[in-house]
Amino acid sequence: MSEERNLRLVQPEEGANIDALLVRVARGDSRAFDALYDAVAASVYGLARRVVRDPTRAEDVTQEVLLEVWRKAARFDRDRGNAKSWILTIAHRRAVDAVRRSESQKRQDHHGAPDEVSHDSPADAVLEADEHGTVRDCMDTLTDLQLESVRLAYFNGYTYSEVATLLEKPLPTIKTRMRDGLIRLRDCLEGAQ
């Protein structure tokens, strides 16, 4: 197993832990930033890889995201959500921007399965599998068109107009399916907690 494939630990208190680290990062604590990197880098890089595909560009996106988190840590508003969502929202936007900046770049036709991952220890693997299983189960509750719309936009970085063209559906349909799909995902994830 290559070390680069190792997934970071995902622990039950992970969310709270990241929130607490971000508070310290906001005060300029570089050790907290070091720990925050360990806690989120795999999620950020994994998402960036999935969207931009190219490993080198995914590294650049990861760096941009972590630096934005460092810069804006003091502006993060805990009343508006958890730190990990905030960081992954930044990661997604940056990854999509990177894809759209190079319009000439040939998009790959197939977006295959994510890289196989390995785990640091069986206990971590179980916890992580729990979360992944929950998310995948919830994704399965979406209709085919909802899921396809959300996936093409989120993981391939397409705009909803591009998704509508690809799926040969009217724009308002895709717009609605995207929102309905995300609402269903949200409700399912909330119910599963």
Partner 1 sequence: MNTDLHTLSGAYAIDALSREEAERFKTHLDACPSCAQEVRELQAAAARMGAIEGTAPPAYLKARVMQAADREPQLPPTVRHPGGVRSSTRPAWFPRLMVAAAVALLVAAAGIGYSQLRGENAPESQLASGVVRVFDAPDAHEATIPTANGGTVTVATSPSLNRMAVDTEGLPDLDEGQVYQLWEITDDAIASAGLLSDPDAGAAMPMPAEGAEVAISVEPAGGSEQPTTEPIMTVTASEV
Residue numbers 121-140 binding partner 1 by CB under 8 A: 131-132, 135-136, 139
Burial class, 140, CB count within 10 angstroms (exposed 0-12 / middle 13-18 / buried 19+): exposed
Cα torsion angle, 22, 24, 30, 34, sign = negative
Instruction: Give the Cα separation of 64 and 49 in Å (integer).
Output: 14
Q: How far is CA 139 from CA 20, 37, 145, 151, 185, in A?
A: 29, 28, 12, 10, 6
Site for partner 1 (CB under 8 A): how many residues?
A: 79
Q: Which residue's CB is nearer to partner 1, number 62 or number 109? A: 62
Q: Which of 39, 57, 148, 158 binds partner 1 (CB under 8 A)?
A: 158
Q: SS3 breakdown of the chain: % helix, strand, coil, rounded to 5? A: 75, 0, 25
Among 12, 159, 170, 191, indicate the residue that binds partner 1 (CB under 8 A).
159
182 is an interface residue for partner 1 by CB under 8 A: yes
- Angle of the 30-52 helix axis to the 144-156 helix axis, nearest 10: 120
| Candidate list 21, 22, 39, 73; residue touching partner 1; CB under 8 A | 73
Residues 12-71 that bind partner 1 (CB under 8 A): 26, 28, 30, 33-34, 37-38, 41-43, 45-47, 49-50, 55, 58-59, 62-63, 66-68, 70-71
**165 contacts partner 1 (rule: CB under 8 A):** no
| Identity of the residue, 20 or 135, whose beta carbon is nearer to partner 1 in the bound complex | 135
Is residue 82 near partner 1 by the rule CB under 8 A?
A: yes
